[in-house]
Structure 1
Amino acid sequence: MNARPAPEFPKWPQYDDDERTGLVRALEQGQWWRMGGEEVDSFEREFADFHGAPHALAVTNGTHALELALQVMGVGPGTEVIVPAFTFISSSQAAQRIGAVAVPVDVDPDTYNIDVAAAAAAVTPRTRAIMPVHMAGLMADMDALGKLSADTGVPVLQDAAHAQGARWQGKRVGELGTVAAFSFQNGKLMTAGEGGAVLFPDSDLFEAAFLRHSCGRPRTDRHYLHQVSGTNMRLNEFSAAVLRAQLRRLPAQTALRDQRWALLSRLLGAVDGVVPQGGDVRADQNTHYMAMFRLPGIAEEDRNALVDRLVDAGLPAFAGFRAVYRTDAFWEVGAPDETLEQVAERCPNTEAISSDCVWLHHRVLLAAERDLELTAEIIADAVAAV
């Protein structure tokens, strides 16, 4: 019997002469930092326009984007931030690093997005922000979160690290009236290796964030009159030039990923024991940062061994995120006044998903249909061997 051919996937990151032109343009302008160049300013305008937001601020990375957003929203020592328990740990650490307590809450077992009822139950007088993560590019329930915010007075911060270009009922991320933070880390939907951005719904928040991201120094200051405590989160001109090219390529890639996920999710759903990530018809543009699926009932060690087999077969496969509270880092600083067991008890869906979830990098969804068929066959064989 002939061995099955290995699927072929596009390389990531992707680039062409558009990025090269941008890098040369940044090089030859003679000013390589944002206070003297034009690339960061241009990228901010283009990124804000693309998402329907009044303002965008480019920063050094997605974790800094969250930290900065939380800080200008009034988060700090003595306050709490509600975060989904199933997410990359930057979501919780961003709050913890600026002195706040991160309060993990459970997620939906189908979409993997924050459970709004669980978030509502976690609100206290100390809560200063509710941070949904648009998991794998599928937007969280922004209607319910908007109502919760209105009822409690607690603002929402969208962790949109996976969601460049996503929409909720026709509205882009920047049209939903909240602050939103993005990541441009190497694996993200658009990337400069590292980088981040924050969208702001009003100029006051934007100006406050600009000061803090630039060492508390006003744009026109010539005498070192730093107005507030800040740090250096400024994005450089070369990264911005690359991101401008990446943004122009994003819509076509998003459309292709959406088409390919329709095929792959159908193929995976036909595999015994495999349950693809669900959707929400109100999230009418899913960016598909990850192709995620669950193997309900599988032990974590068996899931991990399965991932190893998929990698050996040529798939860019990864284990699902570990629950944030099941890491030593979470308990170092800014943890709630609970035991690990108490947090786990109120997060049963997170407990399950963290043990049984697998994801494939989004470049899989840029491949040809035959390669997706081969991908599903490889996954079926690996699952059958568990």
Structure 2
Amino acid sequence: MSDIGLPEWPQYDERERAGLIRALEQGQWWRMGGGEVDAFEREFAEHEGARHALAVTNGTHALELALQVLGVGEGDEVVVPAFTFISSSQAAQRLGAVAVPVDVDPETYCIDVAAAERAVGPRTRAIMPVHMAGQIADMDGLAKLSADSGVPLVQDAAHAQGARWNGRRVGEFGSVAAYSFQNGKLMTAGEGGAVTFPDRESYEEAFLRHSCGRPREDRGYRHRTSGSNFRLNEFSAAVLRAQLSRVDEQADTRERRAPLLARLLAEIPGVVPQGRDPRADRVPHYMAMFRVPGLAGERRDALVDDLVSRGVPAFVVFRAIYRTDAFWETGAPDATVDELAARCPNADALSADGVWLHHRTLLAAEEQIHRVAEIVAAAVADATARQGTAK
């Protein structure tokens, strides 16, 4: 594998080291006795414009907890984009609900509002927009849909720390939002997650449920509600506080580099970069995504392998959720794979020919961005030539 000198990820410095020592030396490593998780929750809520934040074990648990607080359970339906990481649907399915996939916008790759509206029915308990690659979904249209239907939104903001839509942060839309701090995310402690809430009541219920239904000061094991152990530990919170201190600076760098990379990729024959809604006035760019419509399936996979061998941190994009075995294990709609694919042509095509580059690419210097584009151009040309020979 070639090394073209791109920045490493995760990134850390003395801030993380100091935080870990601080957590170690406080003598309490559990959130109920220490101070790091509490401090991180306050700082993260402020950063995202939310009234309250609850730190949890990971982004999947964040989604599951958010849905549970909204009362999602057996027999309910949750509308999710067909193009997303499987946790979006599994969070609903693990609660006994049915995940209903809908198509995505062909430019932004976020949930299509009209498709979501068509999917809302009498059993719909939540609509889950995913802010794909940090590009916030159409929150204007979704807010109207939520108000008209009475169905609440649960924002999957795993990719969207620091994102803004018409000047509003994720926590300022009056809906619950779930975040991930897994190793590849924009800020990370290896694993971790958070849920933000617009009101105290929801936050307090979530706190109970994330701690086995046990109140904060309980000494008699008086578990008030069902729940599980989704508590974050003090060491992870200390690292996340340090990560949060640089997340805006990194987002600013990616915002400066992203237009250059998108322009260079768009100049490559056969390459179509992810679009951007002009109302998204700050995109933190979890991924640099593009499509190669002429190269799908195994040919796309071979292209990604070639890019990796040339030193570009490339990945295939998420598989449409209905094209995974996991989706059909429980809580699947009464439809076939082919029927769902016909309803979701954009998601189906994107999952077959999409490519994403790790966001550390966009932390590189401009000359490295040009080098990445040159490598993509060469790899796509070679892949296209091989396809032509195969015919």
TM-score range, shorter chain: over 0.9
Match of 1:31 in 2: 28
Instruction: Give the one of 179, 202, 206 matched to 1:182.
Output: 179
Matching residue within 362, 376, 381 for 1:365:
362
Q: Can you list the C-alpha shifts for 1:101-159, whole angstroms capped at 9, x where unaligned?
A: 00000001111000000000000111010000000000000000000000000000000
Residue 73 in 1 paired to residue 65 in 2? no
2:377 & 2:229 partners in 1: Cα distance?
48
Q: Secondary structure at the match of 1:198?
A: strand
What's the CA shift for 1:7? 2.3
Q: Aligned partners of 2:316 and 2:218: how far apart in 1?
A: 48
Q: Deviations over 1:203-244 (max 9, x none)?
A: 111000000000000001110000001110000000000000
* Letter in structure 1 aligned against 2:168: K
Question: Could you say which residue in structure 1 is the equivalent of 2:131?
Answer: 134
Aligned length: 382
Q: Hey, what's the Cα distance between the residues in 2 that align with 1:305 and 1:354?
A: 15
Is 1:292 aligned to residue 312 of structure 2?
no
2:314 is aligned with 1:317: yes
Residues in 2 aligned to 1:366 and 1:84: alpha-carbon distance in whole angstroms:
29
Alpha-carbon RMSD across the aligned residues, in angstroms, is 0.7
SS in 1 for 2:194: strand
* Partner Cα distance (2:311, 2:277) in 1: 31
Larger CA deviation: 338-347 vs 60-69: 338-347
Q: Which of 203, 214, 217 does residue 214 from structure 2 map onto?
A: 217
Query: SS where residue 4 of structure 2 aligns?
Result: coil
For 1:262, which of 256, 259, 268 is the aligned residue? 259
Provide the residue aligned with 2:165 in structure 1. Answer: 168
54, 66, 87: which is aligned to 1:57? Answer: 54
Structure 2 equivalent of residue 16 of structure 1: 13
Partners of 2:302 and 2:212 in 1: CA distance? 46
CA distance in 1, matches of 2:335, 2:374: 44
Paired with 2:226 and 2:351, the residues of 1 have a C-alpha distance of 38
Gaps of 5+ in 2: 384-391
Give per-residue Cα distances to partners, 1:173-214, cap 9 Å, x unaligned.
Answer: 111110000000000000000000000000111000000000
Which residue of 143, 146, 153 corresponds with 1:146?
Answer: 143
Once the two structures are superposed, what CA deviation does each residue of 1:274-330 show, in whole Å capped at 9, x if it has no partner? 111000110101010000001123221110000000000011100011000000000
The equivalent position to 2:86 in structure 1, one of 61, 73, 89, is 89
Contact 1:6 1:374 in 2 (8 A): no
Distance in 1, matches of 2:156 and 2:3, equals 35
CA distance in 2 between counterparts of 1:244 and 1:299 reads 41
3-state SS, counterpart of residue 280 of structure 2: coil
Q: Distance in 1 between matches of 2:295 and 2:365?
A: 30
TM-score normalised according to structure 2 size? 0.97
Per the TM alignment, residue 6 of structure 1 is displaced from its structure 2 partner at its CA by: 4.9
| Offset of residue 40 of structure 1 | 0.2
TM-score if structure 1 supplies the norm length? 0.98
For residues 261-280 of structure 1, the aligned pairs below 5 Å read 261-280=258-277
Identity %: 72
Whether the aligned pair in 2 keeps the contact of 1:344 and 1:351 (CA below 8 Å) is yes
Q: Give 1:301-380 correspondences, 5 Å limit.
A: 301-380=298-377
Q: Secondary structure at the match of 1:382?
A: helix
Q: Which residue number corresponds to residue 196 of structure 2?
A: 199
Q: Secondary structure at the match of 1:318?
A: strand
CA distance, structure 2, for counterparts of residue 213 and residue 378 of structure 1: 46
2: CA distance, partners of 1:80 / 1:315: 40
**What secondary structure is seen at the aligned counterpart in 2 of 1:385?**
helix
TM-superposed deviation, 1:333: 0.4
Q: Distance in 2 between matches of 1:91 and 1:167?
A: 21
Provide the rounded CA distance (Å) in 2 between the counterparts of 1:202 and 1:316: 40
2:96 matched to 1:99? yes
CA distance in 2, matches of 1:297, 1:305: 13
One-letter amino acid of the counterpart of residue 257, structure 2:
R
The correspondence of residues 222-237 of structure 1 with structure 2, limited to 5 A, is 222-237=219-234
In the alignment, the residues of structure 2 paired with residue 324 and residue 6 of structure 1 have an alpha-carbon distance, to the nearest angstrom, of: 33
Distance of 2:228 and 2:316 partners within structure 1:
34
Answer yes or no: is the 8 Å Cα contact 1:184–1:193 preserved in 2.
yes
User: For structure 1, which runs of at least 5 residues remain unmatched after alignment?
Assistant: none
Give the AA of the match of 1:315: V
SS at match of 2:351: helix
The residue aligned with 2:388 is none
